[in-house]
Amino acid sequence: MTQTVKLLFGVHAHQPAGNFPKVVRDARDRCYGPFFEVLERHPQFKFAMHVSGWLLEFLIREFPDDVRRLRTMIARGQLEVFGGGDTEPILASLSETDRRGQLGAMNERVKRIFDVRPRGAWLAERVWEATVVPSLVNRGIRYVAVDDFHFLCAGQEPQSLHGFFSTEEGGKRLDLFPISETLRYRIPFAPVSDTVAYLESLPPSGAAIYFDDIEKFGIWPETHEWVYGRRWLEDFIGSVVRSQKIETMRYADFHKNFSNRGVVYLPTVSYAEMGAWTLPPRAAQRFSQLVERAKREGTIDSDKPLIRGGHWRNFFSRYPESNWMHKRVSQASRRFHALPSSKKRDAMLHDLHLAQANDAYWHGLFGGIYLPHLRRQVFSSLVRLEAKLDRLTPRAPIEVVDIDLDGRDEIVLANRSMVAIVRPYVDGCVCELSHYKLAHNFADAFARRAELYHDRMRSGEVPGSSGAPASIHDRVAFRSQIGEDDFAIDAEPRAMFVDHWSPAEGAGVGAAYGQCESRASRLVMTGLAGALAVDKHVELDGDDMLVGYTLSAGDSGESRNGTWAVSLDIAMPSCDGPGGRYVVDGVTSGGFDGVVERDDFSVIELRDSELGGSLEVEVSPAARIDARPFLTASQSEAGFEKIMQTATIRISWPVSIPDGASVTVCVRLGVKKW
């Protein structure tokens, strides 16, 4: 009997928790549904699949026939279901308790829906750290699939990567399947005949291991027509089934019937592209130069594992906004797990898990942290959880704690309606303002910074087209008109209540606060803005946040003339969509994507139908207002685009302070739920 190469074919289906329903429905129509229909027609073609928990529930609710197809294929032994973290978290970034919780939740979901318990698991973004091994094993997982790149980084030879290996951590053994990079780049982009010929050329009785995003089969640009309209998937499956040299097999069957290929210890690593994305621009540029040089010299295959770039956790360093979300969620996790079992509720755990979904915490080819609706999902889940926690274990009105673990304390103000977090060391700004009933963080801002791909944006290079769709890694397309001004780097923080003094003569300066004290539930900060003395107080009153400034000339013998300005970066769910509008002193003044300039205003309200509420900004005395959208330029799988992050409101007062005198200005932020 002819020996065959065993094709272990796996796909991973995921949509970010909180993604727009119309986007998920479109993904189902262009990819998931057609894929399931094709595979159901070919029972001889065995495969594995992982569907993240949030997406699986969406399919059950809106497309039950898809789930029926999956059940049918499981029942006849065609399909193996993989487990993993329920909401697609980066397991390595979680505590041991939360890892086990995420894995256990997914196991139970798979058991409830498909009546099987997974033995294999998918690791989000194939992020590997050995610390995840005990959590996986303790939840019944016996093997995972990670990139062959991981193995090459450990010194393994490419010709040995046609089976599974074993590793251990803390005496717990886990088996590892190396996913073929060659197959990841061929399927479904290369012609069927070339792909099948490559599979037939592999060593008989070994495994050809493929496990990658199902979105390549219809969602990535140009792939729907290629995969279904031009029948790539149908032809591929038919060619594989007819081949005398290829046999499809489930991972579970291969794992049961074949021996491992030895023991391996993998470094902390993800897939090769991630190693570049996680580096800051200058380091990423040098990394790219090294890779290109290795390609020119013909040594890339042997050198790439030795120039692998950074690791996933670097995103916490590159993007302070990511680190903030991660540490805030970790803080809430500790509070939740400290509760007595009798007080814990499934809804609380569900919110915790949703806040841990990986999509908003990083950025590479995909929008990730640049996408406001993904960050909003994290904060919404977090705020819902903290509202419940605060009812069970109320916080003090004011707490001092280093939340983001950067060595500097933040100050947390809380009441029954909301929580505000102040960074005294950054202009005394408010970096979070979360309202419980609306489950929204109004201070979810994102700064404009340099990215490596900005050079490609400037050049506007667009590669030529061929018959097959280009790999998503090679595309350059523009979804927005992007100019040089869009690459400007923020010199000041993006937050609420960033303060600025512009004297009548000389350069403007920000405020620096050197002392903080709490007076009952009020935070008082004192400092300087140039030669101007500033007292800033922050307090919460029901659904209002009050911020007042006392500006003093001091005893220098000189008056202080100039402009005092306060900037507010305000996150609103509608962004530049039709659901948002400004109302200035009772008069509607357009959407958040417009510009509002008034020399004498008292109240501006930001109304948002997506939020189901509004934020009112009231000033005393009347002031000048300048409101405009703040946008960032980034890349996604569909191309380069500008994204509205916040509505930026600058409030300014002309002031003239006699020697020894002072003036007071105030801002009230009032939250309303409709």
Active-site positions read: 125, 213
Rounded to whole angstroms, the Cα distance separating 47 from 248 reads 7
The tokens describing 554, both together, are: 């001091």
Element (H, E) at 207: strand 207-213
Cis before 621 (ω within 30) = yes
User: Please, are residues 50 and 32 in contact by the beta-carbon 8 Å criterion?
Assistant: no
Smallest CA-to-CA distance from 195 within 176, 206, 180, 177 is with 180
Sheet holding 165-169, edge to edge: 83-84, 120-122, 143-147, 172-179, 165-169
Q: How far apart are CA 352 and CA 418, in angstroms?
A: 18
Q: Hey, is 394 helix, strand or coil? A: coil
Strand partners, 634: 641
Contact (CB, 8 A) for 91 and 123: yes
d(CA 548, CA 187): 60
CA distance 363 to 418: 29
Q: Are 607 and 345 in contact (CB under 8 A)?
A: no
Nearest C-alpha neighbor of 567 from the set 624, 515, 605: 624
Q: For residues 367 and 489, give the distance between their C-alpha atoms in angstroms, rounded to a whole number.
A: 18
Within a 13 Å sphere around the CA of 476, how many CA atoms are in the beta-carbon half?
Answer: 12
Geometric angle at alpha carbon 104, from 103 and 107, rounded to 5°: 90
Q: Cα separation of 510 and 493, whole Å?
A: 11
DSSP-assigned letters across all residues of 125-188: GG-B-GGGHHHHHHTT--EEEEEHHHHHHTT--GGG-SS-EEEEETTEEEEEEEE-HHHHHHTT
Burial class from Cβ neighbours inside 10 Å (0-12, 13-18, 19+) for residue 257 reads exposed
Query: Count of H helices and E strands in the chain?
Result: 20, 28
Structure tokens given for 257: 């019937």
Q: Across 544-661, where does the E strand assignment appear?
A: 544-552, 560-570, 580-584, 587-588, 596-608, 613-636, 639-657
CB atoms inside a 10 Å sphere around CB 14: 25
- Give one DSSP letter per residue of 14-58, joined into a string: ---TT--HHHHHHHIIIIIHHHHHHHHT-TT--EEEEE-HHHHHH
Element (H or E) spanning 238, and its range?
A: helix 232-242
Cβ contacts of 201 within 8 Å, gap of 6 or more = none
Residue 418: in which H helix or E strand, if any? Answer: strand 418-423
